[in-house]
Structure 1
Amino acid sequence: MTLKAAALTATDGAVPVAHVRRPGAVRTASRRRIAVLMPDLGGGGVQKMTLALAAAFSAHGHEVDLVVYHVEGELEAMVPPQLGVHPLRPNSRLVARLLPLLADPLGLPRLLLPVLLTRRPARTLVYLADLARYLRERRPDALLAAAPHQNLEAVWAKRLAGVPTRLLISERTVPSQVLPTSDLWRNRFLPPLMHRTYQQADVIVSVSEALGDDLAKLTGIPRQRITAIYNPVVGPEIERLVAEPVDHPWFAPDQPPVILGMGRLSDQKDFPTLIRAFAKVRARRRARLVIFGSAKDAAKTELRRGEIKALAERLGVGTDVDAPGFTANPFAYMARAALFVLSSRYEGLPGVLIQAMATGCPVVSTDCPSGPMEILDNGRFGPLVPVGDVEGIAAAIEQVLDHPLPREVLKGRARAFSVERAVRRYLEVLFGEEAAVPDVAEA
């Protein structure tokens, strides 16, 4: 048996891949099997947008497989039952390290530093063999992936499997802000590998025009190869979610105005700058700050929440700042908040900013790369403030609290980022099926 064949059949003692399939599903010319690759079911923005897109494909009559490295996380209970969930199993690390070379022997010079010679290759690489096996067995019409390592692995898996599956890879976060200064040495050598490998995909998507510009500049991929498609953020379920009750006493009608922050508890979101800006606002007027979000695990979440509370205490606003953790329904809180603030250092297309606008909540955002400038139309729908500018964020918060835009104006802008528009564009670039998508009322 060849090394390639052994790699694609090795099991490490694991059970066969579980196939969960919608009863009676039969593929036709208009009904496609679409596989969506996810690292896990955590509550991060990439996972939320990927799951929303998968659900939208299913709602349009396609058979959808969630192909997941780790079937765990805050979104596990939110996976629609009609989606097939296919957990992948790991292979040996030695075999995993060699598979990219077997998939693309001519790519050896660019594989050396980020894959073959690095002491610690990407953790998800051990799932490459089983991803290739999934493609050979299930033969989906299309495979979608997001984020650099999953994108690379999707390309290699398709080559190893030898299937005609249409492959769409996408970037969701500005690579120039993540890769060149990464703490992981291997990531600093990814751009040349991305240049070669990404162009073997059928479609390359960025979630904003600015992110597409950044990806092309960093990797040297021709800009015309990159298609910008906004994330599927606004769906018809928002009105129902907005109406759900909230269990936080600060959101009651008779309470001081609540300023809302939300997102992964990480350095990227720069919540310390938001807290410092809030302290300046609080010195001049009554207000409260609530930051929803979690980190990569329970221990890290508690550590980050403790840091938020400690900083608030040092600034003298400890009784007016809360960090409750993850919420499955952010819309209900957004609709009741006086203001939402995005304080990020970088983004791709921040869905949480669009979600807030979709509920009618006024917004303030840093002018970070990339996305906020496109979403807010150069400040037309909310102030844009330099990254890390405490005084600027404080001033913008007070400006919007005093003179908020009408809620219907914000909701109207958010509809440009609807699920329907996104799914139409994805099906068009994958299959040329824009005309075949049924008309469904947008949110």
Structure 2
Amino acid sequence: MQDTLPEPNTPLRVVFFVGRLTVGGAERVTSTLLTNLNRRNFAPELALVRDRIEYDLPPDVRVRCLEREHGLWPVAKTVQTIGWLRRWLAADPPDVVVSMFSHYNLPTGSAIASSRQNVAWIARVANSPTKIEAGPHALWARMVYPSARCIIANSAGLADGFRQHHRSPAWPVLHVPNPLDLEYVHRSAAEEPKFSLPASPIVVAAGRLAPQKRYDVMLQAFGRISSHTGAHLVILGDGPQRTALKKLITKLGLSDRVTLAGFHNNPHPIIARASLFLLTSDYEGSPNALLEAQALGIPAVSTQCPFGPDEIIDDGTTGYLAACGDADAIADGALRVLTAPDGGRAMGSSARERISARFGLATTLPAWERTLHQAATGSQSSPLT
């Protein structure tokens, strides 16, 4: 494996395209790359659909923004995005464009193909393709993705799942993990929480209140967890299921044991004070919240959903894995952690070491930089060995 990249005469211009730079998995990865890429080799830029930036950006990062019209139908929004991308690519083509979110991969590939510019395109996928690229989108994807210099998946399972879903084993699909800025995570965790936490053991979950996350299963499991331990569940995030979940919490008699804490720009102080992290999703890509919890030394219980948790958690050593939808198995794992505090602390210590070695910037940033360099120079060999 090559340890250092040959320095180009001028840094390679790399544009990262994401809808907006607010809190979310793709957005966190984008912010980390914009901040940490080696400036001798790369000149990173940012392209947005909406001018919403909630991360501190280095002053040398150039920002472009579409500010798409409100009220357009989805097809019209897509057409507008493709046209905007095509125009600025024709006017000022960079060396590489990285679409950071599945929702924008196909418009980006279509715009680059129709711009007729010699721009390398990298498409990043971070969620189950059977959920994101189904029906007409699957047909569009199979037309557009072959023009990508490579496709990045943030877990090995997702890379395999992507190939199988699109029935295209020859496509250059690479597993490049999310870069995790451990210094940032620990620094932000040292801040004070924005609200008072209960004195009882805290179980924390974080993510959009949406069907994918299966909070209904989590609450069913937590009813049993709480009755045996007196623990309190704090759920960080907001979304369309908030009202339904409040009703379910009341129905299950958990109103004094569960807090829907809403969205927090910085969830790390709350996660860092927890005894356990829970994830009950039916599908993922490589969940950043789980990564960050383990990086902070918090043992975790997660569903072994496609894809990612089984590559983050070492089952029985840094946490436990359970079948999707199995509230009893989730509760069993949580009770094993919460009723054996010394074992939980040992799991947390092992988790911190594992995440640092596998997902810290020292490991993941070179893999990203090799991929960007190979895309710009036309190489399609894997950046990982």
> Counterpart of 2:64?
86
Q: State the distance in 1 between where 2:238 and 2:25 align.
A: 11
Where does residue 413 of structure 1 map in the other structure?
354
Q: Are 2:140 and 1:193 aligned?
A: yes
Instruction: Tell me if structure 2 keeps the 8 A contact 1:365–1:383.
Output: yes
Distance 2:40 2:236 in 1: 32
1:124 corresponds, among 64, 70, 78, to: 78
Q: Judge conservation of contact 2:20–2:49 (CA < 8 Å) in 1.
A: yes
State the one-letter code of the partner of 2:180: V
Amino-acid identity (%): 26
Q: Is the 8 A contact 2:133 2:141 kept in 1?
A: no
CA offset at residue 225 of structure 1?
Answer: 1.6
Secondary structure at the aligned position of 2:197 is classed as: helix
Task: Give the Å deviation of 1:48.
Answer: 2.1
For structure 1, list consecutive stretches of 5 or more residues without a partner in the other structure. Answer: 1-26, 95-118, 181-187, 434-443
Is the aligned partner of 1:56 residue 2:36?
yes
Superposed CA deviations along residues 331-379 of structure 1, whole A, max 9, x for unmatched, are: 2111110100011110001111110011111111000000011111455
- The 2-side partners of 1:38 and 1:51 are apart by 10
The unaligned stretches of length 5 or more in structure 2 are 1-6, 376-385
Tell me what 1:134 maps to.
88
Deviation at 1:269, TM superposition (A): 0.9
Picking from 144, 162, 179, the partner of 1:232 is: 179
Contact 1:210 1:370 in 2 (8 A): yes
Partner residue of 1:436?
A: none
> Structure 1 residues 305, 229: CA separation in 2 closer, same or farther (over 3 Å shift)?
same
- Give me the whole-angstrom Cα distance separating, in 2, the residues matched to 1:383 and 1:157: 44
Q: Which residue of 2 aligns with 1:177?
A: 131
Paired position in structure 1 for 2:21: 41
Inter-partner Cα distance in structure 2 for 1:352 and 1:85: 27
Shift of residue 155, structure 1, vs aligned partner: 1.5
What is the distance in 2 between the residues matched to 1:92 and 1:276?
A: 39
Give how far 1:399 is off.
0.6
Tell me what 1:426 maps to.
368
Q: Which has the larger radius of gyration?
A: 1
Partner AA of 1:52 in structure 2: T
1:222 Cα deviation (Å)? 1.8
Partner of 1:277: 221
The whole-number CA distance in structure 1 between the counterparts of 2:352 and 2:70 is 49
What per-residue deviation string (whole Å, max 9, x for no partner) do you get for residues 120-174 of structure 1?
5373332111111222223212110133441112212212222222211111001
Q: Is the 8 A contact 1:179 1:190 kept in 2?
A: yes
1:197-248 Cα distance to aligned partner (Å, 9 max, x none): 1111111111111111111111122256211011112432222112111132
Partner of 2:108: 154
User: Is 1:290 paired with 2:234?
Assistant: yes
What is the CA-CA distance between 1:423 and the residue it aligns to? 2.4
Distance (whole Å) between structure 1 residues aligned to residue 35 and residue 101 of structure 2: 20
Aligned partner (choices 160, 167, 177) of residue 220 of structure 1: 167
Q: In structure 2, the residue corresponding to 1:289 is in which secondary structure?
A: strand
Q: Which piece of structure 1 moves more, 343-352 or 236-245?
A: 236-245
Tell me the residue number matched to 2:46: 66
In 2, distance between residues paired with 1:88 and 1:282? Answer: 48
Q: How does 1:374-413 map to 2 (within 5 A)?
A: 374-401=311-338, 402=340, 403-406=343-346, 407-413=348-354
**Cα distance change on mapping 1:383 and 1:93 into 2, 3 Å:** closer
Measure, in 1, the Cα distance between the counterparts of 2:109 and 2:132: 21
CA contact (8 A) 1:293 1:327 kept: yes
Q: Does 1:267 align with 2:211?
A: yes
Q: Is the 8 A contact 2:35 2:58 kept in 1?
A: no
2:62 partner amino acid: G
Partner in structure 1 of residue 202 of structure 2:
258
How far 1:90 moved relative to its partner? 4.5
1:89 touches 1:130 (CA, 8 Å); kept in 2? Answer: no
Amino acid in structure 2 at the alignment position of 1:321: V
In structure 1, the residue matched to 2:381 is: none
The aligned amino acid for 2:158 is L
Could you tell me whether the CA contact under 8 Å between 1:213 and 1:223 is conserved in 2? no
Is 2:11 the partner of 1:31? yes
CA distance in 2, matches of 1:91, 1:271: 34
Provide the C-alpha distance between the structure 2 equivalents of 1:266 and 1:380, rounded to a whole number of angstroms: 29
More off after superposition, 233-242 vs 384-393: 233-242
Q: Is this contact kept in 1: 2:208–2:238, CA < 8 A?
A: yes
Distance 1:373 1:159 in 2: 37
Q: 1:408 to 1:59 in 2, by over 3 A?
A: farther
Distance of 1:89 and 1:286 partners within structure 2: 48
2:114 is equivalent to residue 167 of structure 1: no
Amino acid at match of 1:161: S
Give distance in 2, aligned partners of 1:238 and 1:151. 28
Partner-residue secondary structure (3-state), 1:36: strand
The aligned amino acid for 1:140 is P
Match of 2:261 in 1: 324
Following the alignment from structure 2 to structure 1, what is the Cα–Cα distance between the partners of residues 222 and 265? 25
SS of residue in 2 equivalent to 1:41:
coil
Secondary structure at the counterpart of residue 77 of structure 1: coil
Q: Deviations over 1:6-34 (max 9, x none)?
A: xxxxxxxxxxxxxxxxxxxxx96252221
Q: Give the superposed CA RMSD.
A: 2.5
Contact 2:48 2:64 in 1 (8 A): yes
State the AA in 1 paired with 2:292. Q
Q: Calculate the TM-score normalised by the size of structure 1.
A: 0.76
CA distance in 1, matches of 2:39, 2:182: 12
